[in-house]
Amino acid sequence: MKDLEKKALEYHSRGGVPGKVSVVPTKPCLTAEDLALAYTPGVAEPVVKIQANPSDAYRYTAKGNLVAVISNGTAILGLGDRGALASKPVMEGKGVLFKRFADIDVFDIEIDEKDPARLVDIIASLSPTFGGINLEDIKGPECFCIERELIKRCSIPVFHDDQHGTAIIATAGLMNAAELTGRSLSGMHVVVNGAGAAGISCARMFVNAGVRKENILLLDSRGVVYSGRPNLTPEKAWFAVETDKRTLAEAVDGADVFMGLSVAGCLKPEMLRTMASDPIVFAMANPDPEITYEEATAARSDVIMATGRSDYPNQINNVLGFPFIFRGALDVRASRITENMKMAAAKALAELAKEPVPEVVSRAYGGRSFSFGRDYIVPKPFDPRVIEYEAVAVAQAAVEDGVAASPVTDWEAYRKSLSERMAKYWA
């Protein structure tokens, strides 16, 4: 771990250029004429055009390929509230992933504000700059109302990745795990341990995918969310069920699925042994899961195991979601990201995992080979086909839902353009 810490700090500071992102001009500025066109007096012309027709901003500025990655640092990936400034390395990291996997430009914006209403006002006031807004590392339950209010107030896609990113990738994995074990989603009994932003959103998306709400047991730090339990937030209350189960051990007994978005080590091997045949375990606590891969596979030889880690099979990694979802949304100028668009992303990922895996993926992972099965239920981020499957599916769903201001008319041409656009990143 000390070696990783040293490498991470060196990575972020090396080369005499601190951090991971920079701004690069897309037009030449080498002559006096270039300068006059790039700034005054040339900028006056697009200003007048945009004032007369706001949609011209997509023609004359970077708005259409620019996403704001915004945080107040109140829930930094497993580290908690470390403040807005401390969230900057994470937000820069998101910028790297947006660019590397979907050729989307990013401004990371760290806002020193914890009051939800004021935060909404600040972000909404910034929205004219961008084609989309990615909210990140904002704690629950405030994150729910912040995203909800911004969706109402902004005419561009607003997406809280901590909620929906994990949910989309996990849903893709759940679909494929169900198929591999001969289950139907409607017949599954699912335990979701962790009722924060990601846990609530995973549970909701599982329901949208076909899991019956009454078959889900949601747990928070106080145990099972049951009907009549006092002081439940509206988000938790929606999952309250009639049950006499109160603890995690009681909840997982006989369950088909454990979805963990909680704390390390809480799922004990003896608990796993009480689950149904071919148990499906998504242990997503970061960096240390609710049960280790070694513990889980030792306790149950029939387990399908996924984590958030890259060093074990079936990594449920948000990078499989947000770059490609925004790519599709931006390309059709979607006004928002709908539930149908999220589900389209999940289904596209589930479908791609069943396809033969190209050699470029094997090379990215040290020569390892992959094929659809218990140790491969979602694609790898370094599969160059992800953008073609997912961005196209998202864009199509946006058009179907009537939220696309610039619908694609030739889907094969669009798919080809994505492959050509990203070729430089795979060379």
Predicted confidence (pLDDT) per residue in 378-401, tens digit: 999 999 999 999 999 999 999 999
Shared-domain flag, residues 298 and 195? yes
* Separation of alpha carbons 168 and 375, rounded Å: 19
Of 6, 7, 11, 39, the catalytic one is: 39
**Domain containing residue 219: CATH number:** 3.40.50.720
Residue 2 maps to a domain: no
Position 1 pLDDT exceeds 70: no
C-alpha distance from residue 371 to each of 157, 314, 355, 356, 404 (Å): 34, 11, 8, 6, 35
Q: Note if 380 is an active site residue.
A: no
Residue 16: predicted pLDDT: 79
Last residue of a domain, one of 284, 307, 330: 307
Position 146 pLDDT exceeds 70: yes
Q: Note if 424 is an active site residue.
A: no
Of 94, 236, 342, 347, the catalytic one is: 94
Residue 7 maps to a domain: no
Shared-domain flag, residues 96 and 225? no
Residues 6+ apart with CB under 8 A from 163: 143, 144, 147, 197, 198, 200, 201
In this structure, what are the phi and psi dihedrals at residue 61, rounded to the nearest 5 degrees? -130, 175
Residue 14 maps to a domain: no
Tens of pLDDT along 88-135? 999 999 999 999 999 999 999 999 999 999 999 999 999 999 999 999
Residue 115, amino acid: D
Tokens encoding 190: 């699912």
**Domain containing residue 140: CATH number:** 3.40.50.10380
Shared-domain flag, residues 156 and 186? no
Position 155 pLDDT exceeds 70: yes
Tens of pLDDT along 49-65? 999 999 999 999 999 99
Shared-domain flag, residues 102 and 121? yes
Shared-domain flag, residues 339 and 258? no
Q: Which of 348, 345, 329, 306 is nearest to 398 (CA)?
A: 329
* Separation of alpha carbons 286 and 196, rounded Å: 14
Residue 327 maps to a domain: yes
Residue 399: domain span:
318-426
Last residue of a domain, one of 133, 163, 193: 163
How does residue 246 score in pLDDT terms, banded at 50, 70 and 90?
very high
* Separation of alpha carbons 295 and 297, rounded Å: 6
This prediction has a pTM of: 0.94
Above pLDDT 70, what percent of the chain?
Answer: 100
Count structural domains, the chain. Answer: 3
Q: What's the mean per-residue pLDDT of the chain? A: 95
Decide: 123 and 59 in contact? Cβ < 8 Å: no
